[in-house]
Amino acid sequence: MNNEVMNLKNGDFAILPEVPYSSTDVSEGAYISHEDIEHHIMDFVRGNINSSKGHMHMREVLDDIIVDLCNYRNALATPDQYLKKNLL
pLDDT tens track, the chain, 88 positions:
344 554 545 555 545 568 888 888 888 899 999 999 999 999 999 999 999 989 999 999 999 999 999 999 999 999 999 999 999 8
Report the alpha-carbon distance of residue 66 to residue 16 in Å, rounded.
22
pLDDT number for residue 9: 53
pLDDT number for residue 50: 92
| Domains of the chain by residue range | 5-84
pLDDT number for residue 17: 63
Beta bridge partners of 15: 5
pLDDT number for residue 10: 54
Beta bridge partners of 30: 76
pLDDT number for residue 44: 92
